[in-house]
Amino acid sequence: MIYQFSSNPEINNMLNRVVQSITALAENQVAHIKRLTRIGESLSSETDLHKIWDMMLEEAVEFTNADGATIYQVSEDKKYLDFEVLFNGTMKLRLGGVRGPVGWPSIPLYDENGNPRLSNIVTNVYHLKRSLCFDDVYIQEEFDVSGTKKADKDHDYRSKSMLTIPLKNHEDEVLGVIQIINAMDNDGNIVGFTEDHKTMLNSLASQAAIALSNRKLIDDLESLLMQFMRSIATGIERKSKYSSDHIMRVAMLTDMIAAKLNASDSGHFKDLMFTDDQLKELSMAGWMHDVGKIITPEFIMDKSTKLETIMDRIDLVSKRFEMMHLVLELMQKSLEHSVLDQLIKEVFGDELDSQSVHKWLDDAFQFISRLNFGGEFVPDADLERVAKIASIKLSYQDKDYILLSENETVNLQIRRGTLTSDEMKQMSAHVSVTWDMLSQLSFPKKYKNVAFYASTHHEKLNGKGYPKGLTADDLPLQSRIIAVADIFEALTAADRPYKKAKTLSESLKIMAFCVKDGDLDQDLLDFFMDSGLYLDFAKQYMKEDQIDSVDIEALKKLYQKQ
């Protein structure tokens, strides 16, 4: 637009040129502000660190019209600058960022004596926290650019103008360095970096450093959260006097299943893909699935035999049997033979007498000793035999002698395992406690399901699980994965005090029947076996004599509809 400021054409033209220059300058400044705002919004909303690196490089190159750029990140030990992303238009080179690691050797920040390397441009910028700019990096003499010259010669290239800026956070800590080379004008000629370039790139560096600090803070907090979860799990495992690593192995197997599912490109789960956040969420749930056991009494967790409390009461029972032998021997000396036989028949049964009763006692104790070690199932006949032994009461010299107390009898009549029904309730309560504990924590939104996944590993698809009796409609794949991992580890574990470790084939057969009964997910067990996951886990965590041959097709026939 031409304005009419004066009747004098020369003055009018001059004033219009001034207005146009001011307008162009203002428009450029507005554009700069808009660009910085857009960059700031993008950086603040981005959570992927690799994308942040890419975004920084693209904005720096676009604004300066540079031919190349490199971004370095300070290593965790603060001893190196690691290549994160680099670009060179002339050489058609683009490495790092979302494309994966650059793979170039890191640049040491210190020499062999531990002194800061100040002769190198990027390390100087790191140590002194200042920007460096050169119109022609070859003709300066303060810094050693022999490496740059060699690389240029190898690639028939010429690095000339160079701007190197530290990425500093709010605490003035350098998180990385960005280096841009060969700014170009509209005709493709290499030019020096302008003050506008420096101002804009310093602003970009500041915003990028904030984004990096936020990302690092989030990563550190998430890492701390995971470490805390693992330490809690370790503490729970150490409650036991046995060296059980159940929680760790379940968590590892959970991660293995999820990773294998993600890699699957055929079958039922070929379209499934857990995100990184979903994988972390599931892993957290795996580590926390037994956190409720923090309130489970040690004597229940460690109950290796039916009679165990603080000690294994089989020793007390043994003393009672010995005392019964001794009392019978004393009675034999003081009573007539016929009287003693009649007494024995009344107490022990019509089929016994003073001669056979001692063998009966020995057999009875051997039976009790075997029964004390929990098995898969105790038949009715054995329960009746326990009741018979418990009914024995012999009186001698105004004192009563028994073989089993009421509590011992109750424990010995446990049908499966070593826990009574009351103890099972206490043990089972751990999943409700897991929910109560984890549901009170303010997990980030992306990990909101940790409490649910962790507390549903004892639920069954048929609704017969606990604590809530949820059904298949209520249980997502993540809950089903932890359930499979938990059962498989429990069956194959060789460090459980109350049971013998099962072989691979025995364990998978039991799981096949669980699928048949509607407890476990059929597709998941199919995948677990077909993918070879069961064998991968076995080779890492099972004893060699447990790893036997498995007939997968035969196992599938146990639950698949014909």
- 33 and 124 within one domain: no
Residues 523 and 269: beta-carbon distance below 8 Å? yes
Place of tokens 């699935």: 289
Which amino acid is residue 278, in one-letter code? Q
Residue 562 counted as domain residue: no
- What pLDDT, in 10s, does the model give residues 252-290? 999 999 999 999 988 899 999 999 999 999 999 999 998
| Choice among 228-242, 320-334, 523-537 with the minimum mean pLDDT | 228-242
pLDDT at 1 over 70: no
Give the span between the Cα atoms of 455 and 430, in whole angstroms: 9
Residues 445-470 have a mean pLDDT of 93
Among 489, 512, 510, 491, which Cα is nearest to 502's? 491
pLDDT over 60 (residue 562)? no
Mean pLDDT of the chain: 86
One-letter amino acid of 424 = M
* More confident position, 340 or 301: 340
Q: pLDDT by residue (tens digit) across 181-193?
A: 999 988 889 999 9
What is residue 530's predicted lDDT score, i.e. its pLDDT? 94
Answer whether residue 229 is part of any domain: no
Please name the residues in contact with 555: beta carbons below 8 A apart, sequence gap of 6 or more: 508, 509, 512, 529
Does 561 score more than 70 pLDDT? yes
Question: Residue 194: which domain range?
Answer: 47-217
pLDDT digits (tens, 9 = 90+) for 293-333: 887 776 666 666 777 776 778 889 999 999 999 999 999 88
Q: Average pLDDT, stretch 410-414?
A: 87
* Res. 46 pLDDT band, cuts 50 70 90: low
Residue with tokens 């303060």: 142
What pLDDT is recorded for position 26? 60
191 within domain boundaries: yes
- Give the pLDDT band of residue 444 (cuts 50, 70, 90): confident
The verdict on 54 and 169 lying in the same domain is: yes
- Report which DSSP code applies to 193: P
**Which pLDDT band, with edges at 50, 70 and 90, does 498 fall under?**
low
Give Cα 131 to chain centroid, integer Å: 41
Same domain, 296 and 323: no
* pLDDT band for position 67 (cuts 50, 70, 90): very high
Same domain, 211 and 70: yes
> Same domain, yes or no, for 190 and 61?
yes
pLDDT value at residue 72: 93
542 has a pLDDT exceeding 60:
yes
DSSP string, 171-186: TS-EEEEEEEEEEE-T
pLDDT higher than 70, residue 25: no
pLDDT, tens digit (0-9, with 9 covering 90-100), for 348-363:
988 888 889 999 999 9
Residue 227, domain member (yes or no):
no
Q: Is residue 506 in some structural domain?
A: yes
| 14 vs 163, more confident | 163
Average pLDDT, stretch 70-88? Answer: 92
Residues 116 and 194 in one domain: yes
Comparison of pLDDT for 6 and 323, the residue scoring more: 323
Number of structural domains the chain divides into: 4
| Helix, strand, or coil (residue 354) | coil
Do 444 and 541 fall within a single domain? yes
Whether residue 209 sits in one domain with residue 126: yes
CATH of the domain at 495: 1.10.3210.10
Count the neighbouring beta carbons within 10 Å of the beta carbon of residue 470.
Answer: 18
Whether the predicted pLDDT of 42 surpasses 70: no
What is d(CA 491, CA 524) in angstroms, rounded to the nearest whole number?
17
Instruction: Give which of 480, 479, 474 is closest to 449, Cα–Cα.
Output: 479
pTM of the model: 0.65
- ∠ Cα 351 353 356 (to 5°): 90
Q: Which of 431, 453, 456 is nearest to 443 (CA)?
A: 453
d(CA 332, CA 327): 9
